[in-house]
């Protein structure tokens, strides 16, 4: 039974309140940010900041170009480091070449390094004056202007000179070294005795040294086969045997003979096995006899 003094709820209100209570929204879930999301967010923020800084820098450059009146003109690119280094090396090389050429011109055309002293070595029968006359080098000539090969050829043209060598000695000397010809045999001609060296070159006319062997060939000279054969035999002899030879004859290549100072005769034959024959002859001469035949070294004989 209802109390008339108590206010009764309205029907619509009573029905609505439970429904409203049921439709209250639930609290929103908290958005949790993990380490990976935080890292991605920070990278995105850095890229954005960098992009803003680049845009600001481009805007600054654009404003600078506008102010200087170069709007629309692209800014020149700076050359790469490798290009700059290569240009520096090229420049240094060019400078070195220029300096080298300049120094060479100075040395070639000025007496800074000139032949103020000419040294001659190896003279004996040939005098220093003969060498200097043949060399034709004026004192004071720049060393680089002297053709040493030509000077050596002129000196070697002296009959008594076998070879010549010319060297520049910086800063101020020229050295000339000669090797004189040594007489090995002699032969009489109408104008007097002619001296021949080991190559068969007729290099002097005059009195021969004592005990110099006489060569008996038809036409002595460096190109004559019999001369070459006779000298080959003479130079193969042992010193104690060569000192006893007074004459060597080679009427042909197959009939070479030696005559010793005491009159003994050596029949040599051809130039075959020359060294072996020379060894056999040195032993054979210790035996008494007048004719020693080593033409066949396997059967040397004494008569």
> What's the pLDDT score for residue 76?
61
The tokens for 256 are 């070479």
pLDDT at 53: 87
pLDDT at 240: 94
Cα Dmax for the chain: 191
The pLDDT value given to residue 7: 47
Residues 140-152 as b or e (16 or more Cβ within 10 Å = b): eebbeebebeebb
Contact 160, 180 (CB under 8 A): yes
CA proximity to 163, closest of 147, 181, 186 = 181
| In the chain, domain spans | 85-180, 183-302
Q: Which fold has domain 85-180?
A: Ubiquitin-like (UB roll) (3.10.20)
- For residue 59, what pLDDT is reported? 86
Question: Strand order of the sheet with strand 173-180?
Answer: 117-121, 173-180, 161-169
CATH number of 183-302: 3.40.50.11690
DSSP 86-143: HHHHHHHHHHHHHHHHHHHHHHHHSGGGB--EEEEES-SSS-HHHHHHHH---TT-BG
| The pLDDT of residue 110 | 62
Matching residue, tokens 């086969």: 225
pLDDT value for 12? 45
Low-confidence ranges of the chain (pLDDT < 70): 1-33, 69-80, 102-112
189: helix, strand or coil = strand
DSSP of 195-222:
EE-TT--EEEESPPPTTPPEEE-SS-ST
pLDDT tens digits for range 159-169:
999 999 999 99
Helices (H), the chain: 11-22, 35-68, 81-109, 128-135, 148-156, 225-236, 239-242, 274-284
Q: What angle do CA 52, 56, 60 make, to 5 degrees?
A: 170
Q: 154: burial class by Cβ within 10 Å (0-12, 13-18, 19+)?
A: middle
């Amino acid at each position: 039974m209802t109390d008339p003094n108590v206010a009764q709820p309205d029907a619509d209100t009573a029905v609505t309140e439970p429904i409203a209570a049921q439709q209250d929204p639930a609290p929103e879930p908290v958005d949790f940010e993990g380490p990976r999301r935080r890292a991605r967010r920070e990278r995105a923020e850095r890229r954005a900041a960098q992009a803003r800084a680049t845009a600001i820098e481009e805007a600054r450059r654009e404003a600078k170009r506008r102010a200087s009146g170069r709007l629309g003109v692209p800014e020149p690119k700076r050359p790469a480091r490798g290009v700059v280094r290569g240009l520096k090396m090229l420049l240094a090389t060019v400078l070195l070449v220029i300096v080298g050429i300049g120094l060479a011109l100075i040395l070639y055309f000025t007496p800074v390094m000139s032949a103020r002293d000419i040294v001659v070595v190896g003279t004996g029968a040939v005098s220093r004056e003969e060498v200097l006359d043949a060399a034709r080098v004026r004192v004071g000539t720049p060393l680089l202007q002297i053709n040493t090969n030509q000077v050596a050829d002129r000196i070697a043209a002296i009959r008594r000179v076998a070879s010549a060598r010319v060297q520049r000695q910086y800063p101020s000397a020229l050295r000339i070294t000669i090797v004189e010809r040594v007489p090995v045999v002699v032969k009489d001609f109408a104008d007097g005795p002619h001296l021949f060296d080991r190559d068969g070159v007729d290099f002097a006319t005059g009195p021969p040294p004592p005990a110099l062997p006489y060569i008996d060939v038809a036409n002595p000279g460096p190109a004559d086969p019999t001369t070459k054969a006779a000298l080959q035999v003479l130079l193969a002899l042992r010193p104690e045997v060569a000192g006893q030879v007074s004459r060597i004859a080679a009427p042909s290549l197959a009939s070479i003979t030696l005559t010793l100072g005491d009159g003994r005769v050596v029949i040599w034959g051809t130039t075959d096995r020359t060294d072996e024959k020379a060894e056999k002859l040195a032993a054979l001469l210790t035996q008494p006899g007048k004719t020693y035949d080593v033409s066949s070294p396997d059967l040397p004989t004494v008569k």
